[in-house]
């Protein structure tokens, strides 16, 4: 049995696409996922499953969300093992103790590629931000004081916005901890 994390894109943001986390937990259990835990209101679900095919896990997750909540929500699934490996390969500048820096992990939702996201958003502005990637996760850090001047802060208005879901470093680390 493998541990996974489902990351839902764009729920409970600005009063749109509302899904209660207790209800989300129940529907994930209804489709046979075990040890289901939801974390914060932004659509993070930790679960166990014998299913090894990520595409099947995504299909089942998106289907139950559409059926039970009448919402077409993109979902990406990452295994605990893969997330652990990704975080071990994070750049040294990401997820430091500096509270003046905003650290994000941008999870690319298949079939979109990391290269497509970089092409759509553009080159990082090194005076305002740092960007790197490992696998399907883009690491992005920017000082809070100049955050709005960074190129990657505009990802929400880019053509790939619906093909990524973003979590801050604290959330990503907590999700990995919840898989233990």
Start-end ranges of CATH 3.30.70.1260 in the chain?
A: 84-169
Return the structure tokens found at 9: 């894109």
CATH code of domain 2-81:
3.30.70.1280
What pLDDT is attached to residue 156? 85
Position 14 confidence tier, pLDDT thresholds 50, 70, 90:
confident
Percent of the chain at pLDDT > 90 equals 88
Position 119 confidence tier, pLDDT thresholds 50, 70, 90:
very high
Start-end ranges of CATH 3.30.70.1280 in the chain?
A: 2-81
What pLDDT is attached to residue 141? 97
Q: Judge if pTM exceeds 0.85.
A: yes
**Quick one: which of 79, 64, 65, 106 has its CA closest to 6?**
79
Give one DSSP letter per residue of 65-105, joined into a string: HHHHH-----EEEEEHHHHHHHHHTS-TTSS-S-TTEEEEE
**Quick one: which of 133, 89, 139 has its CA closest to 115?**
133
Mean pLDDT of 11-32: 91
Position 97 confidence tier, pLDDT thresholds 50, 70, 90:
confident
Q: How far apart are CA 130 and CA 134, in angstroms?
A: 14
3-class DSSP assignment, residue 4: strand
Fold annotation for 84-169: Alpha-Beta Plaits (3.30.70)
What pLDDT is attached to residue 103? 97
Count other C-beta atoms under 10 Å from residue 176's C-beta.
18
**Residue that has been written with the tokens 């690491």 in this structure:** 139
Q: How far apart are CA 57 and CA 61, in angstroms?
A: 6
**Quick one: which of 26, 30, 36 has its CA closest to 1?**
36
Longest dimension (CA), the chain: 48
Whether the Cβ atoms of residue 47 and residue 61 lie closer than 8 Å to each other: no
Mean pLDDT of 62-89: 96
Q: How far apart are CA 148 and CA 152, in angstroms?
A: 9
């Amino acid at each position: 049995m493998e541990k996974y994390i489902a990351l839902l894109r764009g729920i409970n943001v600005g009063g749109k696409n509302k899904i209660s986390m207790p209800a989300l937990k129940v529907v994930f259990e209804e489709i046979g996922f075990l040890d289901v835990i939801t974390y914060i209101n932004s659509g993070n679900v930790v679960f166990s499953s014998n299913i090894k095919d990520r595409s099947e896990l995504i299909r089942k997750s998106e289907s139950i969300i559409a059926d039970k909540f009448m919402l077409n929500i993109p979902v990406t699934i990452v295994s605990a093992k893969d997330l652990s490996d990704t975080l071990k390969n994070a750049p040294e500048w990401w997820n430091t103790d500096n509270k003046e820096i905003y650290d994000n992990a941008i999870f690319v939702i298949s079939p979109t590629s990391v290269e497509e996201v970089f092409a759509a958003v553009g080159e990082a502005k090194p005076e305002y931000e740092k960007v790197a990637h490992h696998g399907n996760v883009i690491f992005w850090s920017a000082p809070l004081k100049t955050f709005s001047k960074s190129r990657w802060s505009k990802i929400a208005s880019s053509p790939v916005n619906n093909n990524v879901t973003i979590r801050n470093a604290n959330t990503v680390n907590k999700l990995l901890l919840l898989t233990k």
